[in-house]
Amino acid sequence: MDNFYSYILYSKKLDKFYIGSTSVETNIRLLRHLKKYYGNAKFTAKSDDWILFFDIKCNSFQQAQKIEKHIKLMKSKKYIHNLKKYPEISAKILEKYKEIES
């Protein structure tokens, strides 16, 4: 079974969040960002202190991408902190972007 995630990284040095989606375990994805696997021109290459702040396990890559977009559209650090603080928010967005099977 495949694993899909929406995830949020945090850099204290930059005081910035990075929001993404992936089909690999989030700890592997974090290591790839830290090792600049995706290139030196990418946003996460600007810092070397990224930590995994939060992740949401999704049912499909499409759902993970929709949740990533949802979080980005909120444009809010407070919302990101609340995702971590209140698990019911994650449950609601998982339900909102649930794939409808036919």
CATH number of the domain residue 60 falls in: 3.40.1440
Q: How many whole angstroms from its chain centre is CA 82?
A: 14
Query: In the prediction, which pLDDT does 1 show?
Result: 55
**Cβ contact 50:33 at 8 Å:** yes
Q: What is the mean pLDDT of residues 33-51?
A: 93
Inside any domain, residue 45: yes
Sign of the alpha-carbon torsion through 16, 57, 86, 53: negative
Phi, psi of 100 (to 5 degrees): -90, 115
pTM score, whole prediction: 0.92
Q: What is the mean pLDDT of residues 22-28?
A: 96
Instruction: Please state, rounded to an integer, the average pLDDT across all residues of the chain.
Output: 94
Q: How many whole angstroms from its chain centre is CA 40?
A: 20
Residue range(s) defining the domain that contains residue 17: 4-96
Please name the residues in contact with 8: beta carbons below 8 A apart, sequence gap of 6 or more: 17, 18, 19, 20, 52, 53, 54, 55, 71, 80, 83
Task: Indicate if the pLDDT at residue 100 is higher than 80.
Answer: no
Inside any domain, residue 48: yes
Overall domain count for the chain: 1
